[in-house]
C-alpha cells in the first residue's frame, strides 16, 4: 500500500484531487488478467465505471491466489452454537469446495451472467455458493434466511435466478425456522420460476423435494468431488452481485455491485481501515444476508489472506462468553460487530469478559446503528482495545466514515464514526437550498459528490432511472448522492450522524431528530437502551414517544418506580434539548423489537403506536418484543 508520510489528510486529498493516479496505485493490490486501461470513466454522471478494460475475478483474488503460499492455513471457520458444530477449511480445502459448488451450479444450467439466488443460514455452503458464483461469472443475490414468502417472491421476480440455493432450515436461539416451505410458497407466488433448487439438508426440518426441480447438495457434491472449474475472467464492470436493501416497499431495490472496483476497494480497506496482515483472523458477527456479511465475512478477509469466521448463533448462547471464547481459541485479531450486540452484552455478567484470554484482539469495529457514548465507553473499558465506529450503507459496500489507522493513527471520538474515508468526497448540504455547509457544527444532509469511489453501487438492478431519481436528485439544484442521513462535522473533520432525514419529526412546527432525543435519553444512568419514534398527534402534528429498556428491571416493577424514572428522563431531555424535545411518554420494556442483524424496528414501533399494521416482521428477532409494546400501548397512545 502506498501511503503518504504527511498523513491521512494528504492521502484523502490525493484520492479526490488526483483520483486516477491514486486508484491506479490501489489497483495493484489485486490480480488482473488484463490490467485496466481507464481508471475511472465518469463521462455519464452519475454512472461511474471503474478500471475499464481490466479483467479480473473476485474468487481468484479471494481464494486461488493464496493456495500456493498459504494453502494449509485456515481460510474459513464455520461455527454454529445452534447445532454445536465447528469446521475449519484451509485455503486448499476451500478452493476444492468452491470448485465442487461451481461444477454443481454449472450442471444445473448456470452460465456467465445468470443469477443465482442464495436463501441460506450461516453455514459454510452459503460461502461456497457465493464464491462459486463469482468464480464462473454468475451474479449472486443473497436473501436473508427466513424472509417471508411474499418478500422472497418479490426478490425472485426481480432477480430472475436460474438456480436458488437454499437449506432445509436455519436456527436462531434454539428455534428452528424451516426454510423449504417458505421457499416453495415464494416460488408459487413468483411469476418467475427457477430452473432448479439446490438444497443443503442439515437434518433440522422436513424438506419435501419436488421431482425434476429440487436437487440434494450432498448427492451432487459427490459426483463432482474432483471437479476443476477455472475462474472466468470478467470485465471489471461486470456485476458481481445484487443485494436488496432492507425496508423497501413495492418493487425491491437491488443494489448492483461491480467486480473490479469492489475487489480493489475491499483489498485497500483491509490495509488502511483494518490494518491487517495475511494470517490474521477476522471475526465479523454479521450475517451474509447483509452487506457487512458480503464484504467483511466472505470477501475482504479472504482477499487479504486472513482466516475468516462464519458464526451461526446468538452472542449470549450458550452464555455471554461465547464470542470471547472464539476470540481466544482462534486468536482473533480483528472483530467487527454492531452496537446493538454490545448493548446486549452490556446487560450480562461482566465476569464473562474476564474469563477468556482476548489479548490477540487488536481492535473492535462497530457499525449498523449509531454508537452512543455510554456503550462505547463501557466496551472500551471492558476489552481494553480501541473501539472504532464506522458508517456506511448497503449501497456503498464499504465504510464512508471511519478512522483509517492503517494510514495514520487517529484517536476515536465516542459518538462519532470518524472522518470521511479516502475516495469519498463527503459534504454537508442544506436540504432546502442545496448549498454546502462548510462551518463546524452545522447540521446538514450527509452527501457525496460524484463519482462514488470504487466498490459502491453501479446502479439499481435493471433500473437506471430509479438509481438516479432515488439517490442523486433529492437535493435541489445538485446532482449529488444523498445518504438520507443528517450529520454535523466538528472543527477536526469528525462527523456525527444524527439520524435519517426521514426520521425527523415535526412537533408544533419544530423539526427534531429522533436520534438526538435517543442520545440524550441513553445518557441517563438508569437506561440501557432506547428507541424514539414520531407518533401522529392531532394537536402538535407529531410527538416523540420513547421506548426504553431500564438497566434495572426492579426499578420499574411498580407504577411508582415507572413514574419516577420517567420523570427523571423527561427532566434530562428538558435540560439538554429543551422542553420541545420532551417525549409525550417514556414506556419501559424488557426488550426492543429488532431484526436478527440487530437493527431496531423503529418503523414497526411507530406503526403500533399509531394503531397501524406494522407490516412484514419476518426478520424480527423476538416477536414478543412488539407484543409487549402493543400491550403497553393499550391506553398510552
Query: Does residue 184 form part of some domain?
Result: yes
- 308 with 193, same domain: the answer is yes
Arithmetic mean of pLDDT, 105-128: 98
**What pLDDT does residue 1 have?**
39
pLDDT tens digits along 38-49: 999 999 999 999
Give me the torsion for CA of 506, 507, 512, 518, rounded to 10°. Answer: -120
CA distance 63 to 72: 12
Do 526 and 431 sit in the same domain of this protein?
no
CATH code of residue 613: 3.30.300.30
In 3D space, the residue among 158, 117, 122 whose CA is nearest the CA of residue 248 turns out to be 158
Asked if 400 and 534 sit in the same domain, the reply is no
Domain that holds residue 236: 8-313+390-484
The answer on 196 and 67 residing in a single domain is yes
**Residue-level pLDDT at 30:** 98
For residues 522 and 550, is the Cβ–Cβ distance under 8 A? no
Q: Three-state DSSP class for 425?
A: strand
> Looking at the structure, do residues 157 and 113 belong to the same domain, yes or no?
yes
Residue 332 lies in a domain: no
505-520: average pLDDT: 73
136 and 238 fall within a common domain: yes
Give the pLDDT score at 146.
Answer: 73
pLDDT at position 636 = 46
Are residues 179 and 45 part of one domain?
A: yes
* Angle in degrees, 0-180, between the axes of helices 514-522 and 373-383, rounded to the nearest 10: 50
For the chain, the C-alpha Rg in angstroms (whole number) is 24
- Picking from 602, 615, 486, the residue whose alpha carbon sits closest to that of residue 544 is 602
Q: Look at residues 555, 586, 554 and name the one whose alpha carbon lies nearest to residue 570.
A: 586
Average the pLDDT over 294-304 and give the result. Answer: 98
Average pLDDT, the chain: 92
What pLDDT is stored for residue 552 in this prediction? Answer: 92
Query: What CA–CA distances, in Å, run from 330 to 79, 308, 324, 397?
Result: 11, 10, 10, 27
Query: Does residue 254 sit within a domain?
Result: yes
Indicate if 205 and 283 belong to the same structural domain.
Answer: yes
What is the tens place of the pLDDT at every residue in 518-549? 888 998 999 999 999 988 877 677 889 999 99
The total number of structural domains that make up the chain: 2
Mean pLDDT of 440-464: 97
Question: What does the alpha-carbon distance between residue 92 and residue 319 come to, in Å, rounded to a whole number?
Answer: 33
With a cut of 70, say whether residue 637 has pLDDT above it: no
**Number of Cβ within a 10 Å radius of residue 627:** 12
The answer to the question of residue 624 being in a domain is yes
| Predicted confidence (pLDDT) per residue in 258-289, tens digit | 999 999 999 999 999 999 999 999 999 999 99
Whether residue 394 is contained in a domain is answered as: yes
pLDDT over threshold 90, residue 508: no
Same domain, 530 and 456: no
Q: Determine the pLDDT at residue 509.
A: 55
Beta bridge partners of 420: 401
Which residues face 495 on adjacent strands? 418, 489
| CATH code: domain of residue 458 | 3.40.50.12780
pLDDT value, residue 5? 46
pLDDT of residue 337: 95
> Are residue 278 and residue 214 in the same domain, yes or no?
yes
Specify the pLDDT at position 438.
96
Q: Mark whether 118 and 240 lie in a shared domain.
A: yes
pLDDT per residue as tens digits for the range 396-418: 999 999 999 999 999 999 889 99
Predicted TM-score (pTM) of this structure: 0.85
Classify residue 336: in a domain, yes or no: no
The average pLDDT across 555-583 equals: 88
Predicted local confidence at residue 246, as pLDDT: 52
Look at residue 553 and tell me if it is in a domain.
Answer: yes
For residues 544 and 416, state if they share a domain: no
Residue 381 belongs to a domain: no
Instruction: Look at residue 618 in the predicted model and tell me its pLDDT.
Output: 65
Q: What is the pLDDT of residue 435?
A: 96
Amino acid at each position: 500500500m502506498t501511503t503518504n508520510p504527511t498523513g491521512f489528510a494528504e492521502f484523502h486529498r490525493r484520492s479526490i484531487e488526483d483520483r486516477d493516479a491514486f486508484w491506479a496505485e490501489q489497483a495493484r493490490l489485486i490480480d488482473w488478467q488484463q490490467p485496466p486501461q481507464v481508471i475511472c470513466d465518469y463521462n455519464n454522471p452519475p454512472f461511474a465505471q471503474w478500471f475499464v478494460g481490466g479483467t479480473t475475478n473476485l474468487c481468484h483474488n479471494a481464494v486461488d491466489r493464496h493456495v500456493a503460499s498459504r494453502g494449509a492455513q485456515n481460510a474459513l471457520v464455520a461455527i454454529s452454537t445452534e447445532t454445536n458444530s465447528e469446521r475449519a477449511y484451509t485455503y486448499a480445502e476451500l478452493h476444492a469446495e468452491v470448485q465442487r459448488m461451481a461444477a454443481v451450479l454449472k450442471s444445473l444450467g448456470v452460465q456467465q451472467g445468470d443469477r443465482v439466488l442464495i436463501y441460506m443460514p450461516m453455514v459454510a455452503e452459503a460461502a461456497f455458493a457465493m464464491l462459486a458464483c463469482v468464480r464462473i461469472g454468475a451474479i449472486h443475490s443473497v436473501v436473508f434466511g427466513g424472509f417471508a414468502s411474499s418478500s422472497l417472491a418479490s426478490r425472485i421476480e426481480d432477480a430472475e435466478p436460474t438456480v436458488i440455493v437454499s437449506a432445509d432450515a436455519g436456527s436462531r436461539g434454539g428455534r428452528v425456522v424451516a426454510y423449504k416451505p417458505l421457499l416453495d410458497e415464494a416460488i408459487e407466488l413468483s411469476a418467475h420460476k427457477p430452473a432448479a433448487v439446490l438444497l443443503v439438508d442439515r437434518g433440522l426440518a422436513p424438506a419435501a423435494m419436488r421431482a425434476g426441480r429440487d436437487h440434494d447438495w450432498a448427492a451432487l457434491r459427490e459426483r463432482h468431488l474432483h471437479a476443476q472449474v477455472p475462474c472466468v475472467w470478467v470485465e471489471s464492470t461486470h456485476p458481481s452481485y445484487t443485494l436488496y436493501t432492507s425496508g423497501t416497499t413495492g418493487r425491491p431495490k437491488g443494489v448492483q455491485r461491480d467486480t473490479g472496483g469492489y475487489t480493489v476497494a475491499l483489498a485497500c480497506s483491509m490495509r488502511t481501515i483494518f490494518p491487517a496482515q495475511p494470517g490474521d483472523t477476522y471475526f465479523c458477527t454479521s450475517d451474509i444476508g447483509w452487506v457487512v456479511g458480503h464484504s467483511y465475512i466472505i470477501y475482504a478477509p479472504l482477499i487479504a489472506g486472513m482466516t475468516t469466521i462464519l458464526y451461526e448463533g446468538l452472542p449470549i448462547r450458550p452464555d455471554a462468553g461465547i464470542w470471547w471464547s472464539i476470540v481466544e481459541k482462534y486468536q482473533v485479531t480483528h472483530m467487527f460487530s454492531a452496537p446493538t450486540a454490545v448493548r446486549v452484552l452490556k446487560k450480562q455478567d461482566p465476569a464473562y469478559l474476564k474469563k477468556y484470554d482476548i489479548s490477540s484482539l487488536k481492535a473492535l469495529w462497530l457499525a449498523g446503528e449509531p454508537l452512543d457514548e455510554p456503550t462505547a465507553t463501557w466496551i472500551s473499558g471492558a476489552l481494553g482495545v480501541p473501539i472504532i465506529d464506522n458508517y456506511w450503507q448497503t449501497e456503498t459496500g464499504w465504510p464512508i466514515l471511519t478512522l483509517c489507522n492503517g494510514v495514520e493513527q487517529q484517536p476515536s471520538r465516542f459518538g462519532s464514526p470518524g472522518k470521511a474515508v479516502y475516495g469519498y468526497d463527503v459534504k454537508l448540504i442544506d436540504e432546502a437550498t442545496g448549498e454546502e455547509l462548510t462551518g463546524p457544527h452545522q447540521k446538514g444532509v450527509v452527501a457525496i459528490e460524484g463519482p462514488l469511489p470504487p466498490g459502491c453501487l453501479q446502479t439499481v438492478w435493471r433500473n437506471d432511472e430509479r438509481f438516479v431519481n432515488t439517490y442523486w436528485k433529492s437535493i435541489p439544484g445538485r446532482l449529488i448522492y444523498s445518504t438520507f442521513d443528517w450529520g454535523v462535522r466538528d472543527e477536526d473533520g469528525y462527523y456525527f450522524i444524527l439520524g435519517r432525514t426521514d426520521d425527523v419529526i415535526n412537533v408544533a412546527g419544530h423539526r427534531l431528530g429522533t436520534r438526538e432525543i435517543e442520545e440524550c435519553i441513553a445518557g441517563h444512568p438508569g437506561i440501557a437502551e432506547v428507541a424514539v419514534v414520531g407518533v401522529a398527534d392531532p394537536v402538535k402534528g407529531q410527538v416523540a414517544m420513547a421506548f426504553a429498556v431500564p438497566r434495572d428491571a426492579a426499578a420499574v416493577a411498580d407504577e411508582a418506580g415507572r413514574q419516577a424514572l420517567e420523570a427523571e428522563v423527561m427532566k434530562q431531555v428538558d435540560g439538554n434539548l429543551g422542553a420541545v424535545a420532551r417525549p409525550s411518554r417514556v414506556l419501559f420494556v424488557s426488550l426492543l423489537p429488532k431484526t436478527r442483524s440487530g437493527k431496531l424496528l423503529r418503523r414497526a414501533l411507530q406503526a403500533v403506536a399509531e394503531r397501524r399494521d406494522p407490516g412484514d416482521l419476518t426478520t424480527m428477532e423476538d416477536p414478543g418484543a412488539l407484543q409487549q409494546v402493543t400491550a403497553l400501548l393499550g391506553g398510552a397512545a
